[in-house]
Amino acid sequence: MELPTPDDVAAAATRIAAHVVRTPLLRSPALDAAIGGTVLLKPEPLQRTGSFKLRGATNAIRQLDAAARARGVVTHSSGNHGQAVACAAAAVGAPATVFMPADAPAIKREATASWGATVRLYDRARDDREALSRAHAEATGQTVIPPFDHPHVIAGQGTAALELAADARAAGLEMAALLVCTGGGGLVAGSALALAAASPATRVHAVEPEGWDDTARSLAAGERVGNAPGGAGLCDALMAPMPGVLTFAVNRRLLAGGLVVTEDEVLAAMDFAFRHLKLVVEPGGAVALAALLAGKFDARGKVVGALLSGGNVDPAVFARALRRGG
């Protein structure tokens, strides 16, 4: 597959505009005071399926021809991409099958099924989720819509950063940096492509949870490296085994670097988002905010963007974050 381009992100923005929410730019005096700079937040928990993933899924599925739509689509996902594929497929009348880990939050499994998708559970530790999707596609003729390593998915994800750059400029602001929650690298790759054209002076940083920092380590090594098994599972949305082939090809060229946050820092950011921003943010969706609040990125005197990537959090996990904040 060819690598996506900034033009592909711009085309995706036009293609999906009528089918996704254009989430707003948010500001918080409390956050600006806490980090000593100006923070521009992109709240994708307000997206229709509760995460940015609807953007990429919609862009990919709406480029399928009528015959492919009739056969349907299949994917593998811990939840957010599965919901997005189910929603985008339902919108065009296409059947969808989603392979989900048996330990995925119940709220994500139920939401995926609610869009009419067939949910098939697998064992995260034992099964190869990509092989399951491929085998199903070969048996049924359905099209695989990967969670991140696909040019149409990457381009669709980049539309969030494209919107943020436009809103920042409309407010008379230019971002020195953008911090992006990162799992397989689709959102940060799309964001970097978007800003390469829309805001070339903005330095884009991947942010990952401790133990799942494959992008940061891959950038340092100059090649793709994977995560060791058995890492903490708090940030379930970001638990990709290693960067994608396409995503890393983009990210090694365009990213300024990678940042890593701890579980405690993630929980603190979730609590901050609830108390000060009035937003429910899932652990994986809070890592960029966590990096700012924990001082992993020096934002003093700078204008910095942060993508809050999703809000589909298990109630027990959210309660844990609020208890941590007292």
Within 10 angstroms of residue 54's Cβ, the number of other Cβ atoms is 27
Active-site positions read 53, 309
Position of tokens 């990967």? 146
Angle at 26 between CA 21 and CA 32, to 5 degrees: 160
CB 260, CB 237: distance < 8 Å: no
Reference 146, options 68, 78, 247, 74; nearest CA is: 74
Reference 211, options 223, 235, 188, 227; nearest CA is: 227
In what helix (H) or strand (E) does residue 139 lie, and over which residues does it extend?
Answer: helix 129-140
* Residue ranges of E strands in 114-237: 118-122, 143-144, 177-181, 203-209
Which residues, 6+ apart, have CB-to-CB distance to 211 below 8 Å? 227, 228, 231, 232
Position of tokens 């390469």? 196
